[in-house]
């Protein structure tokens, strides 16, 4: 009888210690992430007018799906799913901290990408902007000051976009033939605004792979978010500059490996205009089949 009691006591103790270890593990995990803090050296007037991504973002997925269905030719979140191509896109640059590092990696890997630039930053960091163009990347319109366009008038939003368009055109010789692409700050847009920008010649470019790098994630987390969600024709969202206090070092650190892994899987890296061209061609073929 006594032996049975002591056995029982030993078992209880074992369970207790096992629980203790598991619990400690749970508590330890959040501390493992080392957050390198980078001084925010962007002057205040160059900050994101609508506030940091982390405070404004949260665009519901359902609404993106609605817009894709409503405006298949205007609102684009991915390309032709039969082509093994992906487009890397970088928002909110240029700056003189993260954008040059991203450009170095892209150059080293011989990959062309698309930068959705903020006009006033392109104006201030003109040398970095010039690099984007000279090194064969595509620049898209991400407004002049990065406001939340749902909270300003259509006229003001149009002015933000046209001012940026003028600046971008000054960089590209073939500005007349350039496909006009626009990405809305924080991804926030509604049908009225999609139609409005469509009417002035823009394609609205969303994404179907979000690195969530604006949350200041580690390289490992950024890699996982991208690589686990990539499919043929994916448009991948990363950032090449941040808002107040945003640390993108994880995103920069992840980039080389993201490129290597996708290259090894046979993906070709293209700019968003090529994704658009492929998609239009595919849609045309599909329509022909229906006739």
Q: Which is nearer to Zn ion, 193 or 262 (CB)?
A: 193
Sign of torsion over alpha carbons 263, 268, 272, 276: negative
Catalytic residue list contains 137: no
* 95 contributes a contact to Zn ion by CB under 5 A: no
Question: What CA–CA distance (Å, rounded) separates 250 from 34?
Answer: 10
Tell me the sheet residues that pair with 209. 236
User: Least distance from C-beta 249 to Zn ion, angstroms?
Assistant: 18
Catalytic residue list contains 239: yes
Question: What CA–CA distance (Å, rounded) separates 250 from 262?
Answer: 18
Out of 80, 92, 213, 247, the only residue in the binding site for Zn ion (CB under 5 A) is: 92
Question: What CA–CA distance (Å, rounded) separates 219 from 225?
Answer: 10
User: Least distance from C-beta 82 to Zn ion, angstroms?
Assistant: 30
* 91 contributes a contact to Zn ion by CB under 5 A: yes
Site string for Zn ion, 226-265 (x = CB under 5 A): ----------------------------------------
Q: Could you count the other beta carbons within 10 Å of the beta carbon of residue 270? A: 23
Whether residue 238 contacts residue 92, with contact meaning beta carbons closer than 8 Å, is answered with no
Q: Which is nearer to Zn ion, 89 or 218 (CB)?
A: 89
Query: Computed over its alpha carbons, how large is the radius of gyration of the chain?
Result: 23
User: Least distance from C-beta 170 to Zn ion, angstroms?
Assistant: 22
Site string for Zn ion, 174-213 (x = CB under 5 A): -----------x----------------------------
Give residues 48-77 in contact with Zn ion (rule: CB under 5 A).
Answer: none
Where do contacts with Zn ion occur on this chain (CB under 5 A)?
A: 91-92, 185
User: Which residues form the catalytic set?
Assistant: 91, 239
């Amino acid at each position: 009888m006594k032996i049975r009691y002591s056995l029982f006591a030993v078992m209880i103790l074992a369970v207790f210690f096992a629980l203790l270890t598991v619990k400690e593990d749970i508590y330890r995990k959040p501390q493992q992430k080392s957050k390198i803090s980078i001084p925010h050296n962007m002057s205040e007037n160059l900050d994101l007018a609508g506030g940091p991504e982390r405070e404004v973002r949260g665009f519901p997925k359902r609404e993106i799906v609605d817009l894709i269905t409503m405006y298949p030719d205007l609102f684009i979140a991915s390309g032709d799913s039969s082509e093994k191509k992906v487009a890397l896109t970088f928002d909110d640059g240029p700056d003189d901290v993260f954008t040059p590092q991203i450009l170095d990696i892209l150059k080293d890997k011989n990959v062309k990408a698309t930068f959705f630039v903020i006009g006033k930053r392109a104006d201030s960091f003109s040398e970095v902007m010039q690099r984007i163009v000279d090194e064969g990347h595509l620049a898209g319109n991400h407004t002049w000051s990065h406001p939340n366009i749902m909270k300003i008038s259509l006229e003001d939003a149009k002015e933000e976009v046209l001012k940026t368009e003028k600046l971008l055109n000054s960089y590209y010789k073939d500005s007349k033939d350039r496909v006009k692409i626009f990405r809305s700050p924080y991804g926030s847009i509604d049908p009225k605004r999609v139609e409005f920008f469509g009417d002035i010649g823009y394609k609205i470019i969303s994404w179907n792979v979000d690195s969530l790098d604006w949350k200041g994630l580690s390289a490992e987390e950024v890699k996982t978010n991208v690589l686990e969600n990539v499919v043929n024709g994916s448009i991948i969202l990363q950032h090449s500059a941040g808002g107040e206090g945003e640390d993108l070092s994880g995103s920069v650190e992840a980039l080389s490996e993201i490129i290597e892994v996708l290259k090894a899987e046979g993906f070709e890296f293209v700019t968003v205009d090529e994704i658009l061209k492929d998609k239009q061609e595919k849609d045309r073929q599909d329509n022909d089949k229906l006739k």
